[in-house]
Chains A and B, each alone.
Chain A
Amino acid sequence: GESVGLHLPTLSVQEGDNSIINCAYSNSASDYFIWYKQESGKGPQFIIDIRSNMDKRQGQRVTVLLNKTVKHLSLQIAATQPGDSAVYFCAERPDYGGSQGNLIFGKGTKLSVKP
């Protein structure tokens, strides 16, 4: 089994409901953010990204919101499905005056979808 989901914050939602997963990032110099989905036993899968010159970006059933004032990122999943069950984590990329830093990954939130 996959141990990455243990000891993580868990969000449990009913199938068909909307899900909101939050992420507080650490570096005010970060200018690029990514959301990843990781299913049990698999590698992280890119979902959506957003640059700091945007507040909102939409994909297929997913929306990312960025609030730079409070250094907060959220991922909204519309009409959550059982296949959405996974660990979701954000990543930020600091920009130090034109020199990009390494991606900094959050620890993740486990999303559990009840049928």
Chain B
Amino acid sequence: DAEITQSPRHKITETGRQVTLACHQTWNHNNMFWYRQDLGHGLRLIHYSYGVQDTNKGEVSDGYSVSRSNTEDLPLTLESAASSQTSVYFCASSEMGWDEQFFGPGTRLTVL
């Protein structure tokens, strides 16, 4: 069955370190998204991609970057982790634009 996976599921890092969160989908979807989820907020969009070599900034993109070298993967990089980036991160993919996004299980990141 097609699926979307994220790794690691849990990560503890220190302020200033570079961190990369992996997202892999086997749906063959062109559209992929990264969100963060925090108490008191709905899911907030970090970056998204409509296809290979395409990346776009979302609502809360500062301090994050993504790259899309193939259809299946959209890794999210925190260039220099900050305590404000402690959050649960979700990757999603969709077949058509913003419709019916399928979410991964999430990565809980703690920045000390």
Give me the interface of A with B, judged by CB distance under 8 Å: 3-4, 6-7, 32, 34, 36, 41-46, 49, 89, 91, 93, 100-108
B41 touches A107 (CB 8 A): yes
- Residue in A3, A105, A106 whose CB lies within 8 Å of B39: A3
How many pairs of A and B residues are in contact by the CB < 8 Å rule? 60
A49 touches B99 (CB 8 A): yes
B105 touches A46 (CB 8 A): no
Chain A residue numbers with a CB within 8 Å of B97 are 100
A4-B88, A43-B105 given; A104·B39 CB < 8 A = no
List B residues 87-111 near A (Cβ within 8 Å).
88, 90, 92, 97-106
> Min CB distance, B25 to chain A, in Å?
12
- Residue in B43, B102, B105 whose CB lies within 8 Å of A105: B43
Residue of B nearest to A102 (CB): B45
